[in-house]
Amino acid sequence: MTPTAATAVAASIDTGTKQLDVSVEAGIATVVLNNPSHRNALSRAMVRALPQALGRLAADPAVRVVVLRGAGGRAFAAGIDLTDLADSAGRPVVLDFQAEYAVMLNRVRQHPQATIAMIEGACIGGGVELALACDLRFAAEGSTFAIPAARLGLGYVDVEPLVAAIGRARAAEMLFTARRFEVGELAGSGLLNQVVPSSELAALVQRTAAAIAGNAPLALAASKLALRTLADGASGASGGAAGRHEAIGAAVAACYASEDFAEGQRAFLEKRAPRFTGR
């Protein structure tokens, strides 16, 4: 069962920029990359606003899952917005943008609620990285993927998530050739959970998000923490690993001590849907 009817009415969140729309309905937050004239390329305004928006969503007990998608249906995100690599005086701001972009990606990866990337159309460069930062990825038929860094003279070195998703050989091909991959070439990889016709994508994501939203928040958070720790260990990011393992133990203990654990048991015995509160 999703959150109560009182929280089921859609509510918008002010992100400080028209290029990032955030709304919440029935426990599901939808974050829309809204830069369609540039195929939702990640502008500096979007990169700055997304971590702040996610922080507000993480603090909202009514939010159970976050869906990220692009506006317009032509693209999820076509990389970074290259027009934002210089300030109004024409001075380069590449290093500043790069630092803010790294903060954004890490914030998505560390977000405590489940995240879903809904991919329709082009998913290029930074769009691939953003999708990989999410927990689940669903794509429409006809979508394309590419990392054209080599063609642009950019150094793309954050390769661990890509290799984990599609393997070293396929990742090398994507990076070295900079070519576009049709969604069918990647459908069987860890990059995508499922590929469906475009007309079915929204319904699939909605069903998945609703199923997640109906589960116990503390249990979801514990599983996500464990998955994140495993991913960090696989990539060699061992710093703080001991602390994270302690945090996993604490998260599991919190589940057993929660009202939701008792509610889950009652619902099972009474053969009804549980009503989880996150406590």
Residue from 180, 199, 215 nearest 79 by CA = 180
Measured between alpha carbons, how far is 196 from 153 in angstroms, rounded to an integer?
34
Q: What is the pLDDT of residue 159?
A: 94
Q: What is the pLDDT of residue 58?
A: 94
Q: pLDDT tens digits, residue range 222-247?
A: 888 888 887 776 555 545 566 667 87
Measured between alpha carbons, how far is 111 from 30 in angstroms, rounded to an integer?
14
Strands 194-196 vs 136-140: parallel, antiparallel or unpaired: parallel
Q: Domain map of the chain by residue range?
A: 5-213, 217-270
Q: pLDDT tens digits, residue range 176-191?
A: 999 999 999 999 899 9
> Residue 82 has what DSSP assignment?
G
Measured between alpha carbons, how far is 162 from 170 in angstroms, rounded to an integer?
9
- Secondary structure of 171-221 in HEC code, one letter for each residue: HHHHHHHCCCEEHHHHCCCCCCCEEECHHHHHHHHHHHHHHHHCCCHHHHH
Tell whether domain 5-213 is in CATH 3.30.70.2190.
Answer: no
Strands 11-13 vs 20-25: parallel, antiparallel or unpaired: antiparallel
Q: What is the pLDDT of residue 249?
A: 81
Q: What is the pLDDT of residue 5?
A: 37
Tokens of 180: 């576009």
**pTM recorded for the entire structure:** 0.87
Measured between alpha carbons, how far is 38 from 35 in angstroms, rounded to an integer?
6
Q: What is the pLDDT of residue 245?
A: 75
Q: What is the pLDDT of residue 4?
A: 43
> Residue 4 has what DSSP assignment?
P
Residue from 134, 144, 84, 87 nearest 114 by CA = 134
Contact 235, 160 (CB under 8 A): yes
Measured between alpha carbons, how far is 34 from 15 in angstroms, rounded to an integer?
12
Measured between alpha carbons, how far is 214 from 3 in angstroms, rounded to an integer?
7
Q: What is the pLDDT of residue 237?
A: 54
In one-letter notation, the amino acid at residue 100 is E
Report the 10 Å Cβ neighbour count for 50.
Answer: 26
The ranges of the chain with pLDDT < 70 are 1-10, 85-93, 233-244
